Structure 1
Amino acid sequence: MILLEIIQLIFIALFLAGGIFFYMVGVLGLLRLPDVFTRMHATTKCDTMGAGLILIALVIWQGFTYVSLNILVVLIFIWLTNPTAAHYIAKSAYISLYKNEEK
């Protein structure tokens, strides 16, 4: 193997390991944290960072082609929609908990 290919494989392995790490932390947070807000925080970080790092590893593995451009579009879509969706879920959970306390 050429030195460049070895370096490329090392970066792919690091990004994949980082993505798997964030998914594992998110699963542990989902199982161990006490309420909906802290659980959602853990799973949102898990989705955003875990999927992001794994998709970056796929881009490096694929090389810079049309497929990697599609993967980057998916990555940008995840980075834009995941925090927004988590914000609205948290807002609706907060409103529903606040209304239940008033009764």
Structure 2
Amino acid sequence: MTESLPDGLAFEDALVELERTVRDLEDGRLGLDDALSRYERGVGLIKDCHGRLRQAEQRILLLTGVDDNGKPLLQAFQHEATGAVKEPIRRARRKPDETV
């Protein structure tokens, strides 16, 4: 089932339109008014698509186990960007014979 954007455009169709808009803008054959209009539409499509992705991300559940009755135990998925992963803290070791 495809979610629809506010103007009735499905998410996947919005991506196709956005890709087409980018190609047309990069091509440079559009007039100024048409290029500005297509650019504004593209920005709107990006905002709508990002909103849909955020909503979908919030609906993702993580299976954490099964209870005694065999029912799944679910927890909200907490997304962390790859770059946000913390590295372990490295502590300097003092040498036993080190004098200050």
TM range, normalised to the smaller chain? 0.3 to 0.5
- Higher normalized helix content (fraction of residues): 1
Scaled by the length of structure 2, the TM-score of the pair is 0.39
Larger RCO (CA within 8 A; separation ≥ 6): 1
- Higher normalized strand content (fraction of residues): 2
Scaled by the length of structure 1, the TM-score of the pair is 0.38
